[in-house]
Each structure stands twice: as structure tokens, then as C-alpha cells.
């Protein structure tokens, strides 16, 4: 899940899940903010997880590593037909390359 925090209105929302109340968090002297437990739970994040922060105008986007991976996988699915396995193509390419190298080596 990706939550979007609008810095101008302190509203947190998700593409499919909206938190009904405003979420307010203060920036401390070290530049840290606390992500409320409700949001952490809905995002499936825990201490030590990698988060990606993106500034889009005056909107700070926070995305977990797993959410980013899933988003990229979904975008790739639109580019590659469902009946096509890139792993099989890669294996076939490597075998063909090995065959050519063996022929060159044997003369």
C-alpha cells in the first residue's frame, strides 16, 4: 500500500483505503516524524523496514519497499504478455550462447 501525506493539509490517503481523519505529526529536531500505528499497520511496515520517500510538489509520498516492488511488477505485467515467460527466454538464450562458445572452442 502507498499512503500519500499532503503536507499542506496533513491528510493521509491510499489509492484504495482512505483514513477518515486528519493525521498530524510533528517534525522533531532530528528531522524525524512519527508514522501513527494505524497507518503503519495498514501499510504493513515495521521498525527497520526500508521506506521510499518521494516529494511531488508539496506532497510527500511514503512507500514501503514491498509496495514499490508490487507496483513495479504490476507495471511490467502490462508490458509483457501473460503467456510469455522471460525466465524461459533467458535460459534458452544462455544455452544457445554456451553452445556457440563450445563450437568456437572445439573449432
SS3 at position 76: helix
| pLDDT one digit per residue (tens) for the chain, 107 residues | 455 554 443 334 444 445 556 778 888 999 999 998 888 998 899 999 999 999 999 888 899 999 999 999 888 888 888 788 889 999 999 999 999 999 999 97
Q: Count structural domains, the chain.
A: 1
Q: Does 28 reside within a domain?
A: yes
Per the structure block, which three cell numbers stand in for 64?
Answer: 514501503
Could you tell me which of 50, 46, 40 has the C-alpha nearest to residue 19? Answer: 40
Q: What is the pTM for the complete model shown? A: 0.55
Instruction: Say if 96 falls within a structural domain.
Output: no
Residue 61 lies in a domain: yes
Neighbouring residues of 52: CB distance < 8 A, sequence distance ≥ 6: 62, 63, 64, 65, 68
CATH number at residue 16: 2.10.260.10
Domain that holds residue 44: 2-68
Q: Phi/psi at 83 (nearest 5 deg)? A: -90, 5
Give 22's Cβ-side CA count (13 Å radius): 7
Amino acid at each position: 500500500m502507498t499512503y500519500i501525506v499532503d503536507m499542506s493539509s496533513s491528510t493521509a490517503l491510499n489509492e484504495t483505503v482512505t483514513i477518515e481523519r486528519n493525521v498530524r505529526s510533528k517534525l522533531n529536531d532530528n528531522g524525524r516524524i512519527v508514522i501513527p500505528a494505524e497507518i503503519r499497520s495498514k501499510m504493513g511496515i515495521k521498525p527497520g523496514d526500508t521506506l521510499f520517500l518521494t516529494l511531488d510538489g508539496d506532497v510527500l509520498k511514503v512507500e514501503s519497499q514491498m509496495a514499490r516492488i508490487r507496483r513495479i511488477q504490476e507495471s511490467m505485467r502490462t508490458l509483457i504478455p501473460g503467456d510469455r515467460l522471460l525466465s524461459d527466454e533467458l535460459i534458452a538464450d544462455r544455452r544457445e550462447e554456451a553452445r556457440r562458445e563450445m563450437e568456437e572452442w572445439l573449432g
